[in-house]
Amino acid sequence: MLTALSIRDVVLIEALDLDFGTGLGVLTGETGAGKSILLDSLGLALGARADSGLVRQGASQAVVTASFELTDPTAVATLLGESGLDHDPSEPLTIRRLVKADGGSRAYVNDQPASAGLLRELGGLLVEIHGQHDDRGLLNPRGHRALLDSFGRLDVNAVATAYRKLREADEALAIARSEQETAARDREWLEHAVGELQALAPESGEEAVLAERRATMQRGERIAGELQQIADLLDGSDGALTRLRQAARILERVAEDHPALGEALAALDLALVEGGATQDNIDTAAEALAFDPAALEADEARLFELRGLARKHRVQPDDLADLAETFAARLARIEGGEGTIAQLEAQVSAAESAYVAAAETLSAARSAAAARLDAAVAGELAPLKLDAAKFRTTVESLPRDQWSASGRDRVEFEVSTNPGAPFAPLIKIASGGELSRFILALKVALAEEGGARTLIFDEIDRGVGGAVASAIGERLARLASGTQLLVVTHSPQVAARGAHHLLIAKSHDGLVTRTGVRQLDDAERREEIARMLSGAQITDEARAQAERLLEAA
């Protein structure tokens, strides 16, 4: 609900602060007093195009601040959250818009910077404005299906679930067919690749094993001669160890002849032990580094094949085994693809049947709700001097490519304004007065079932008077029951129905013209309604008639 509107330096308004309540609020004033400025200011806060021409002459910027109390903050909180803005649901929502005289504008939601686009989305959730040239709201066929569902209190969850499953089945089938077509084109290449990979039979980790074994054998090949030469020097027929053993045997015979000879023998024995250990280590190394030239050649050839095939398929050698399985699976899908596609087609058919069944149930409910809505609107037309007009809600099936989670129906409100005239979309009504009254009739019918948001009607009573104006006032009051409705009106019958009455008037100080708005008390209301009845010269008869209108309301 709109609770307050603050306007600074907009056209003829220098400074204006308004408070609003629930029920029917009426705004009256002489032609040209500035009622449109008030609506333009609110529209600016709700994301309308920022025109520097709105800035009051001599001011640097115009500022409009609108405050709202949210009875159901869920949708607003979701929208603000998706936009990265904070909002405490227990606090009022404040929207502020600044327009500079030299161009450009800024917008804020709860003092957080926001875009004009976000303001427009918020405006769609907070306020519904109906004017003579409105092309949104009830006039937009894109919203008619949701309005009918709300009127009929229809649950679309079953259709939405069936649609999701149908979409999933459709996508799975499309992917399978695409893969089948691609794979069929690549069949010859796949067969060659699978045969090549299966013939090589690569294993994960095989490259590292081959590379290490190859490097070891290459090292053994390089030092094999040196190791043999060392072995010959140590333990050959004329090697060092052989000579040391011969020397040791000689020392054993003479070691007792002198202490130094005994020490020499001990040192020689130690040298023989170390030399033996050296020989053992060299033998161990030689055995470890031993290689078979044929084995080295085989490992090198295998390693080159692995790396070459990996480069060919642009993968790592360790990934060749997985690649072989992938290619084999693709080839298998080609060979068994027709069966898979047949299964997926059956799943699509089953999902489509389930969707159609749910959609048909929803369509039947919509048709029944449409009949009730048509009857409700028809009951509102005659009192609004539209007794020759007819209203109908069309529910038509859409082609498969236009099915959605909301069903397979196109819903549109249509009217025929004269006997024998064909039905046409609501927006095609030529007369602005007729259009406004049709909107009122439809809004009243819809509100009786589903409630309404903050509504604003701009001169809905233009061109009518008497009993029709009284009927409009009565329906506006009924529509405003329990909610908030603001009406810009020239009709005394409508003004008399208001729970709140705001007077818009111009004032002059000799230099500057200003527009002001003030709340009227009971006596002032009677005087304003009398003016609306009689014109500039207010008569006692007009005051009496105004009193009767107020009493009747």
Strand (E) or helix (H) holding 233: helix 206-235
| 37-41, 57-61, 102-106, 460-464: segment of lowest average pLDDT | 460-464
- The reported pLDDT for the residue numbered 452 is 45
| 93-97, 235-239, 499-503, 548-552: segment of lowest average pLDDT | 235-239
Which residue's entry shows tokens 């709340």?
519
11-15 average pLDDT score: 89
Q: Closest Cα partner for 42 from 22, 71, 70, 13?
A: 13
> In the beta sheet, which residues pair with residue 7?
16, 64
Contact by Cβ (8 Å): 528, 550: no
Q: What are the residue ranges spanned by the domains of the chain?
A: 190-330
Torsion of CA 322, 324, 326, 332, to 10 degrees: -150
Contacts of 232 (CB under 8 A, 6+ apart): 239
- The reported pLDDT for the residue numbered 135 is 45
- The reported pLDDT for the residue numbered 346 is 94
| Residue type, position 106, single letter | R
- Residues 126-181: pLDDT tens digits? 888 876 545 456 777 888 998 899 889 899 999 999 999 999 999 999 988 887 77
User: Could you say which DSSP state residue 22 is in?
Assistant: S
Look at residue 450 and tell me whether its pLDDT is greater than 50: no
Rounded to whole angstroms, the Cα distance separating 425 from 423 reads: 7
Sheet of strand 424-425, all strands in order from the earlier edge strand to the far edge = 390-397, 409-416, 424-425
Look at residue 358 and tell me whether its pLDDT is greater than 90: yes
State pTM to two decimals: 0.61
3-10 average pLDDT score: 92
Tell me the average pLDDT of the chain. Answer: 85
Rounded to whole angstroms, the Cα distance separating 301 from 317 reads: 14
| Residue type, position 112, single letter | Q
- H helical segments located in 256-319: 259-288, 293-313
